[in-house]
Amino acid sequence: MNSRITDRIATGIFYTIAAIMVALLLYLFYFILSNGVPQISWDFLTSPSSAYQAGGGIRDQLFNSFYILFITMIITVPLGVCGGVYMAEYAKPGKITNFIRTCIEMLASLPSIVVGLFGLLIFVNITGWGYTIIGGALALTIFNIPVMVRVTEDAINSVPKELKEASLALGITRWHTIKTVLLPYAFPGILTGAILASGRVFGEAAALLYTAGLSTPTLDYGNWNPLAENSPLNIFRPAETLAVHIWAVNTQGLIPDIREVANGAAAVLVIAVLVFNILARWLGSVIHKKLTASK
C-alpha cells in the first residue's frame, strides 16, 4: 500500500468520524424536538406543574433552571477566574503548584451524584438550610470551578508574552496589566469556559436532587422581595429545575401525561441551552470588539 492511498484512507476516516458526530447531533435534535415541540404551548410554559392531573406546565422549573444558573455563575465565575489568574500568573512552577493542579483536576472528575451527596451533608444538613437554591448553586459550583480555573488559566497563558512585556515595560503593575491587557485578551476563551459551565448547570440533575430538592413552593411572580417565602427570588427555598423535573416525572410521576410533559420539558431544555449559547456568544463578541477596537 503506498503512502498516497494511506493518506486517502486516513482522510476518509476523519471525514467519516466528523460526519457521524454531526449526524448523531442532528438525530438527537430531531428526536427530541419532533417529540417535544408539539407539547410546547404558551400554557405549558406559563402554568405550574401538577402532581396528579394532566395538563401541568413547567413554569417554575424553567424559572428555577435559569435562576440556579444565574446564582451558580455569580459564585463560579469570579472564583474560577481568580483561580485561573493565580495559576497562570502568580503560582510559581513547582511541587505545590502541581499539587494544586492535581486537586483541581480531581475536583473536576468527581461524579456529580457524589457531589450531590456531599452537598446534602454540608449545604443541607450541617447548615440546616434544608433543600435550597443556594445549596444547589454551591454544589454546582464545586464541579464548575475547576472548569473555569482551567479555561481561564489556558486563556491567559495563550496571551502573547510580548503583550505582557509591553505593558510591564511601560511601568505598569502586574495587577493592572492583568486587568487591562491579559483579561481583555483572554476574554473570548474565558467566555467559552463560562458557556461550557452553564451548559453543565442546565443539564445537571444528580447534584441537584439532594441539594435543591424535588419540589417548588407556590410562587408569586409579583413578589420581588428576595426574603419572602413565596418570592421566586428567595435563594433559601427549594427549587426543582427542568432537568430534575424530567427525571422526577419519568421515575416517580403520578400524572397521566408523563410522556408528554417529559418530552415537552426536554425540548424546552434543549432550546433554552441553544438560545442561551447563541446569546452568550453574541454578547461576548460585542464586548470583545469594544475591548479591542476591532471590527
Partner 1 sequence: MNYTADRPTETETEETILKKAASHKEIVLDVKDLSIFYGSKEAVKRANMGIEKNAVTALIGPSGCGKSTFIRSINRMNDLIPSSRAEGEIIYDGLNILRKDINVVALRAEIGMVFQKPNPFPKSIYNNITHALKYNGQKDKQALDQIVEESLRKAALWDEVKDRLHQSALSLSGGQQQRLCIARTLAMEPQILLLDEPASALDPVSNAKIEELILQLKEDYSIVIVTHNMSQASRVSDKTAFFFNGDIVEYDDTKKIFTNPSETKTEEYISGRFG
Q: By CB under 8 A, name the binding residues for partner 1.
A: 92-93, 160, 162-163, 165-173, 176, 180-181, 184-185, 291-295
| Shortest separation between residue 86's beta carbon and partner 1, angstroms | 16
Nearest to 137 by CA among 43, 229, 6, 236: 236
**Could you tell me the smallest distance in angstroms from the CB atom of residue 191 to partner 1?**
16
Rounded Cα gap, residues 163 and 151, in angstroms? 20
Residue with Cβ nearer partner 1 (128 or 160): 160
Nearer to partner 1, 123 or 185 (CB): 185
What is the C-alpha separation between 241 and 204, in angstroms, rounded? 9
Q: Which is nearer to partner 1, 172 or 271 (CB)?
A: 172
The residue among 36, 38, 16 whose CA lies nearest residue 28 is 36
Cα distance between residue 245 and residue 63, in whole Å: 12
Nearer to partner 1 among residue 128 and residue 171 (C-beta):
171
Q: How far is the CB of 225 from partner 1 (least distance, A)?
A: 40
Given the complex with partner 1, which of 94 and 128 has the nearer CB atom?
94
What count of Cα atoms within 13 Å lies in the side-chain half-sphere of residue 69?
Answer: 25
Do 291 and 187 meet the contact criterion of CB atoms below 8 Å apart? yes
Q: How far is the CB of 182 from partner 1 (least distance, A)?
A: 11
Q: Which three cell numbers stand for residue 31?
A: 428526536
Q: How far is the CB of 292 from partner 1 (least distance, A)?
A: 4
